[in-house]
A and B are shown apart, each in its own frame.
Chain A
Amino acid sequence: MERMSDETPRIGVFICHCGINIGGVVNVPEVVEYAKTLPNVVYGEENLYTCSSEGLSKIKEGIQKHNLNRVIVASCTPRTHEPLFRATCEEAGLNKYLFEMANIRDQCSWVHMGDHEAATEKAKDLMRMAVAKAGLLRPQEETEIDVAPSALVIGGGVAGMTAALCLANQGLSVHIVEKEHEMGGMLRYLHRLYPTMQNAPEVMDQLVNAVNSNKNIEILTSSVVKEVKGFIGNFEVTVQKGNGKTVNLGIGTIIVATGATNFEPFGMYGYKEYDNVITQLQLEQLLKSERLQNMKNVVMIQCVGSRQEGRSYCSRICCMTALKNSVLIKELYPDADIYVLYRDLQTYGKEYEEYYREVQKKDVEFIKYLPEKPPEISPGQNGKLNVNVYHSLIGEQVEIMADLVVLSTPLIQHEDAKDLSQKLKVPLGPNRFFLEAHVKLRPVDFATDGIYVCGCAHWPVDVGESISQAYGAASRASIPMAIKKLRTEAITAVVDEDICSGCGLCELTCPFKAILIEETEKGRKAKVIAASCKGCGACGAGCPQMAITMQHFTDEQLLAQVIALAEAIP
């Protein structure tokens, strides 16, 4: 049963105290009384928490009892709560687009915390605007689309392979695109993995074999994503293969697992100037190929190129890598003295702190240096290096004659990440790592539907954490493919072909590639791909002919709000 919307608007208003979050500042009863005086408002009430199950049943009750055909909630932000209130309207038989929200928390009680009267007046202004718009709301329909049961995993490292296997074992088909000529990613360069000390090549071979022998997985090595069109459930991906040929794939969901690369510390601590200054990654390979010579003194310097101007972040894995490699050196050469020059040791959590304690017992010396007094390196006798460092905890300058200096450098984003982010229309965040939809609650989703992220593409993490995230991304990516059908956004751009001049500005403006210029009987005209359109409004704002209208945000509706606001101005 769908309530009619073209009949006279009967607006119900629900105003939330949010405990004292709103109610402690805004005079909610006064706003309710005010709202009831506004045109077409037939019902109004206040709730302690409109979003509680009690509040939601009040909305449903109000719709039934008072025959409401428009609902307004004045509370917090639509970003978190609009879906909930819309769904509630839908449950009561009201088209969910006949719902409007006024944000009287962020825009009133929070920003005008010190002035209760002004906050209350502003809440009334917002109410009046919401009521003006609500009367003009029209029901909107979401269409159903099919989802291709096939995933694309970009990156064939430990994260990508783990996610691919998890999806393939669920019966979904997976394509892995790896730009290198072989699978394995960063695992190919590693020797032993902390904290379990498993052999990286063994771990890698196991994964590669499992991926190779899984009939649901297609592997494309020496291949890159050339073009991505479409939208969740219906991505059209063109992959450029090593042999120069391209292949087109119909894809339901995409997982970005492109990993990271190691920072090369040119110009720092004599790197590339002295042969015995190497990176932790180079040490890893010396250990792996059993080419590490016996030596007396090894110095490891942490935070080389990280936690400093320009690259302010902590790369998370370097402390444990240094500890692990210290243990491996001690196993080979028990008499070697190892000094770890650190700033803050990142041996977080249950296991790593324990590992640190074990390493301390092995006579590895830890020296806390200060960023303002970093270690200095100068050539010493017999090809050794003089490492001079201020040991902040004992307050003395310490000099070490080092046979080998190992620099712990951060993981950084790949150069080509920007290119991929543009193709996928997903953002890079600070430090150029891929930016997830929400740092707390959506750690492996992108804001763009149907695209997910895991492993070092998102932030430096170790192997165990990459695997954990890869399973997480696999879960998220599997959902649309398993349920096979999706409902699309109803708030989209609509082109009035009679006015459109076919100039193409909208096509250039659209960040989602959701609008194209096509030849029609009436000439060149803009066409909206409704399923890709996010309803952002950029095309509408830019259109010189004013030929584009946003559903649910029509000029008429927006102007009504402006006029309602202006009523208060004498």
Chain B
Amino acid sequence: MILLTEDSSVLVIGGGVAGIQASLDLADRGFRVYLVEETPSIGGRMAQLDKTFPTLDCSICILAPKMIECFRHPNITLLTYSEVKDVSGSVGKFAVKIIRKPRFVDETKCTGCGTCTQKCPVVEPSEFDVLLGDRKAIYMPFPQAVPRIATIDKDNCLYFTRAVCKICQKLCQADAVDFEQKPQEITLNVSAIIVATGFDLLNPSVINEYGYQRYKNVITSLEFERLANASGPTGGHVTRLSDGRIPDKVAFIQCVGSRGLGRGVSYCSSACCMYATKEAILIKEHEPDSEVFIFYIDLRASGKGFQDFIDRAKENWGIQYIRGRPGEILEDPRTKDLIIFCEHTVSREVRELRVDMVVLCPAFVPKESNKKLSENLKIRLDEYGFFKNEDSMLAPVDTNVPGVFICGCCQGPKDIPESVAEASGAAARAVEVIALTARKEAQ
């Protein structure tokens, strides 16, 4: 047991891998940590991924122990399904108002047995499975969710919409369902704040010529992760959404909405070359006879072991890399196959490639909620809407407000180890600034 050795508390906003790491470092260091997460479970994007590059570790398998550690840590208070409403004060003495959204399930009573979710008659698309799978109106977002507490989706629950049903309440042995639950406001006094709210993916339908949401077999990389995952909607079989068939030929397209002029965003999303390579290898692992193509502009593989990973993808797995940004994708209306038109810019041939499935790697974009949070915290956003650090070189995790720090993808695209190192870095800066502020005040 690590007990509190420091008088101060720190608020961490966002329960993805960055927020988790920052919380654990601070809690191990002896600080009281409040970890606020807007969704019902911590885990973030990493929990949604199937495997991670370049080691092909199962993502949730390596993340789950850290999630549970957060849950069990005596110095961490988990505030899931909660949002930051208002922040006042300054370094050493922030006052933060948190809204705990009603789950309509008593957190102190729910045992996470899952009976309610089994019997609930309402089936809704699962946000965790990027709408490819289902969940119930009372649900736990994914099997390894932390905390393991059910949440009622008020917009779709029959009791809330039509004043009928209440099956979950009747079945709950723990008497945890509480339809009368109200939003609860709590105020926390903290010495420092770490923002780790992550990112979203661009909806690639803005790149109209790729046909996302018009063609069933054009999917995003995050959708692919859920399809490839054993706990995902297809039980780990990567199949075509049009007919459930396993594709023989799959093409990945990089920089969808990234590095673009005009549409999408102008920056590079950093992680896509590597995760597309990983996803390509997953296909070959599942179906060794399939053909996999990756359309790219520049292969960005500058992290540790990355170039070797790409070399292995080419040599051992036969992944075919084609330099070129496809101009258009057409669907064969009969077979739902896809025809990619592209110039191979190195051989300078114009090609027409027929595939069974296209995976788009969309730009990492800032979360819409950043704007409101930046106003609450009085921290700056950059031109794109990511949180802006004080100096991109010398003060990478500091913001314009002393005592407020940022880490992970909320300040721009990056991969998991960069996010983790940065999260530890934000924790260190928080400790350092709390110590310096206390010393100044003592003088």
Interface residues, chain A, with chain B CB atoms under 8 Å away: 19-21, 24, 48-49, 51-54, 56-57, 76, 80-81, 83-84, 87, 166, 169-171, 193, 195-196, 198, 203, 307, 312-316, 344-354, 357, 368, 370, 392-393, 395, 429-430, 433, 438-444, 454, 458-460, 462-465, 467-476, 478-479, 482-484
Contacts and interface: CB of A to CB of B under 8 A. Distances in A.
Contact of B428 (A349, A465, A472): A472
Contacts of B299: 344
B431 interface: yes
B235 to A, nearest CB: 6
Given A20-B231, A353-B267, A440-B52, A483 B424 contact: no
Interface stretch (B32-40, B64-72, B210-218): B64-72
B104 interface: no
B301 A314 contact: yes
B302 A478 contact: no
Given A393-B345, A471-B397, A479-B28, 10 more contacts: A20-B231, A24-B230, A196-B392, A313-B306, A314-B302, A346-B300, A351-B412, A357-B266, A441-B17, A475-B25
Contact of A307 (B25, B30, B307, B420): B307
Nearest to B415: A440
Contacts of B235: 20, 24
B346 A370 contact: yes
A472 B26 CA distance: 12
B397 A468 contact: yes
20 contacts: A24-B235, A52-B145, A54-B114, A57-B111, A166-B432, A312-B308, A344-B298, A346-B302, A349-B267, A350-B267, A352-B268, A370-B346, A429-B304, A440-B55, A440-B57, A468-B422, A472-B420, A476-B424, A482-B30, A483-B29
Given A53-B71, A314-B306, A344-B298, A353 B266 contact: yes
Given A195-B393, A344-B299, A472 B422 contact: yes
Nearest to A57: B111
Interface string B383-422: 0101000011111110000000000000011101110111
A483 B268 contact: no
Interface in B217-252: 230-231, 235-236
Contacts of B52: 440
Nearest to B69: A84
Nearest to A198: B393
B228 to A, nearest CB: 13
B270 interface: yes
Given A52-B148, A56-B68, A440-B62, A350 B416 contact: no
B417 to A, nearest CB: 4
Contacts of B143: 19, 48-49, 52
Most interface-central of A344, A352, A463 (chain B CB within 10 A): A344
A53 B259 CA distance: 42
3 interchain residue pairs of minimum CB distance: A471-B425, A475-B428, A316-B302
B146 A464 contact: no
Nearest to B55: A439
A20 B235 CA distance: 8
Contacts of A393: 345-346, 348
B201 to A, nearest CB: 15
A343 B112 CA distance: 53
A484 B29 CA distance: 10
B393 A464 contact: yes
A438 B111 CA distance: 33
A353 B62 CA distance: 32
Interface of B: 2, 5-6, 17, 21, 25, 28-30, 52, 54-55, 57, 61-66, 68-69, 71-72, 111-114, 143-148, 230-231, 235-236, 259, 266-268, 270, 298-308, 311, 345-346, 348, 382, 384, 386, 391-397, 412-414, 416-418, 420-429, 431-432, 435-436
Contacts of A307: 307
A349 B2 CA distance: 37
Contacts of B25: 475-476, 479
B442 to A, nearest CB: 12
A443 B17 CA distance: 13
A430 B305 contact: yes
B62 A346 contact: no
Given A353-B268, A444-B421, A458-B304, A196 B68 contact: no
A483 B394 contact: no
Contact of B424 (A203, A370, A475, A482): A475
A441 B267 contact: no
A483 B2 contact: yes
A328 to B, nearest CB: 16
Contact of A392 (B146, B298, B346, B417): B346
A171 B5 CA distance: 14
Given A203-B394, A441-B66, A20 B236 contact: yes
A83 B66 CA distance: 11
B148 A349 contact: no
Nearest to A316: B302
B423 to A, nearest CB: 8
Contact of A195 (B2, B268, B392): B392
Contacts of B147: 53
B104 to A, nearest CB: 20
Contacts of A49: 143-144
A461 to B, nearest CB: 9
Nearest to A22: B230
Given A84-B65, A349-B267, A313 B308 contact: yes
A300 to B, nearest CB: 16
A441 B416 contact: yes
A444 B424 contact: yes
B303 A350 contact: no
A486 B28 CA distance: 12
A443 B420 contact: yes
B342 to A, nearest CB: 15
A313 B306 CA distance: 8
Nearest to A20: B230
Given A313-B307, A471-B424, A349 B29 contact: no
B267 A170 contact: no
A163 to B, nearest CB: 9
Contacts of B412: 349-351
Contacts of A475: 25, 29, 424-425, 427-428, 431
Nearest to A91: B72
B283 to A, nearest CB: 16
Contacts of B348: 393, 395
A483 B304 contact: no
Given A53-B146, A84-B68, A348 B300 contact: yes
A54 B112 contact: yes
A166 B429 contact: yes
A434 to B, nearest CB: 10
B5 A52 contact: no
A344 B268 CA distance: 13
A475 B71 CA distance: 21
A195 B268 CA distance: 15
A196 B304 contact: no
A350 B65 contact: no
Nearest to B423: A472
Contacts of A84: 65, 68-69
A483 B298 CA distance: 46
